[in-house]
Amino acid sequence: MAKLIPGWLWPCLTPLSPEEESQQHNWLLSEREKVGRGSWGDKSDVVLEEARRLFDAEQERRRGADSKAGLYLAAITALMPILATILPGLWDEQISKALRCTLLVIFICALLYLMRAGLWALQTIKVSATTQLSAGDIAQSVSSTKPEENLVTQLLNAVICNYTGTNQKISRIKMTHEFLIRAFFCFAAFLAVQVAWPAVAWTIGWIHNGIITPLMSCFP
């Protein structure tokens, strides 16, 4: 079904193929092996600082995705009462059937985009497993013969363990953003149609009455 709908109309998050999943799994294993074989000697201070920076960067990516998802959910929740006030106006008898159908289609599209964006945001902020360094891990590293190297290893292993979950959060928040952009354009089109419709209808009527009808009367 997803292949029948163009991606610009309804974005889809394509899952990894079995080959891609295998490649990603092998890459994570190779990263762990590199960390396990690492020996930094006199450069432990520099490596520890870089490991902390990398660990903090991954945590910031995760927190950033959760923060954006919370903001998007709040914005969607605030829009719902506004949408509830717009819908009854579409059934006004003074609105033509053509205009009513056009506005209703745009309104439904905007609502679908908002609902899907909300679902993606909820999937982003849902509770998921993450790897953190506990007080026991730090105490164990400090009490070892090479405290700095052990701490570097623990930090880097935590980063590797969190790669998959963090990337999933980033992908989901990007999907939320894509659907919100489409909802925004739908609302912009909704307002543009409301503003432009009377002028377009008047222009078409003027062309029909002032040009086409006189021309047709010239023919027997």
Q: What confidence tens digit (pLDDT) does each residue in 160-185 have?
A: 999 999 999 999 999 999 999 999 99
- Report the distance separating Cα 17 and Cα 134, nearest Å: 35
Tokens at residue 181, please?
């952009």
Q: What confidence tens digit (pLDDT) does each residue in 97-117 have?
A: 888 899 999 999 999 999 999
Tokens at residue 216, please?
């047709």
Mean pLDDT confidence for 51-79: 93
Give the contacts of 173 (CB within 8 A, at least 6 positions apart): 65, 68, 69, 72, 120, 121, 124
pTM, full prediction: 0.84
